[in-house]
């Protein structure tokens, strides 16, 4: 695992490892509230030839249950509709998209794949998925700081108070996931995101 922590060094690592590949799949994970979506957007902007797939599109329900495996996500649908087709070299994929407000899958998305495919979300770094990724990034933000950021974001951006969910479900889920799946052992690059 590279531990240089800077965004510029991250770009150098990605570019050097992807130079001979026509397609390069990047897993971007971290605790809820650590800034995954922001970093994914920044990375896609800089890399140019990139698409982003959000794990939040694969929610089963509003993740209101405790689980060390983040069972509120449909991991089999992610694998079947995204990871396997990407791994098989498909140029276009179709996947069902969950809508938070409706609390259900509302439509299917068609995505034309580019050189860089950034898949971002919590709980993504796990042994059973690692062979689908060419490169993995963990956002190095302490859990308590991530939780506070998530609470603040939900209030300011979405005008909702999810403090109880952060304190009783999402934060503990992240903590249990981290202990069970040990994502740092599956990470190619540890990015400080303070």
Name the pairing type of β-strands 24-29 and 2-5.
unpaired
Query: CA 57, CA 77: separation in Å to the nearest integer?
Result: 10
pLDDT in tens, 149-174: 999 999 999 999 999 999 999 999 99
Instruction: Give the model's pLDDT for residue 194.
Output: 78
pLDDT in tens, 94-142: 999 999 889 999 999 999 999 999 999 999 999 999 999 999 999 999 9
The one-character DSSP state at 169 is: I
pTM here is: 0.95
- Please give the domain boundaries of the chain with CATH numbers for all domains: 2-192 (3.40.50.300)
Ramachandran angles phi, psi of 121, nearest 5°? 170, 165
pLDDT, averaged across the chain:
95
The alpha-carbon radius of gyration of the chain (Å, integer) is: 16
Name the pairing type of β-strands 104-112 and 92-99.
antiparallel
**Residue 1 reports pLDDT greater than 70:** no
Q: Which residues pair with 54 in a beta bridge?
A: 120
**Residue 29 reports pLDDT greater than 70:** yes
Q: What is the 3-state secondary structure (H, E, C) of 58-76?
A: HECCCCCCCCCCCCCECHH
Segment 1-6 shows an average pLDDT of 69
Instruction: Give the model's pLDDT for residue 65.
Output: 85
Which of 103, 105, 120, 33 is closest to 62 using CA atoms? 103
Are the C-beta atoms of 93 and 82 separated by less than 8 Å? Answer: yes
CA 112, 113, 117, 123 torsion-angle sign: positive
């Amino acid at each position: 695992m590279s531990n240089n922590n800077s965004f510029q060094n991250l770009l150098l690592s990605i570019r050097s490892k992807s130079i001979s590949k026509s397609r390069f799949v990047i897993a971007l994970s971290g605790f809820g509230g650590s800034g995954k979506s922001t970093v994914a957007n920044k990375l896609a902007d800089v890399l140019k030839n990139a698409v982003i797939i959000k794990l939040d599109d694969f929610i089963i329900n509003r993740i209101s249950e405790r689980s060390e495996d983040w069972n509120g996500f449909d991991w089999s649908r992610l694998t079947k509709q995204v990871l396997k087709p990407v791994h098989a070299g498909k140029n276009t994929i179709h996947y069902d998209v969950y809508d938070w407000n409706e609390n259900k899958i509302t439509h299917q998305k068609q995505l034309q794949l580019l050189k860089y495919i950034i898949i971002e979300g919590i709980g993504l770094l796990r042994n059973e998925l690692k062979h689908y990724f060419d490169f993995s990034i963990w956002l190095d933000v302490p859990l308590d700081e991530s939780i506070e950021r998530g609470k603040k974001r939900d209030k300011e951006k979405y005008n909702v108070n999810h403090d109880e969910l952060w304190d009783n479900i999402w934060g503990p889920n992240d903590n249990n996931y981290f202990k069970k799946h040990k994502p740092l052992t599956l990470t190619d690059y540890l990015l400080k995101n303070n």
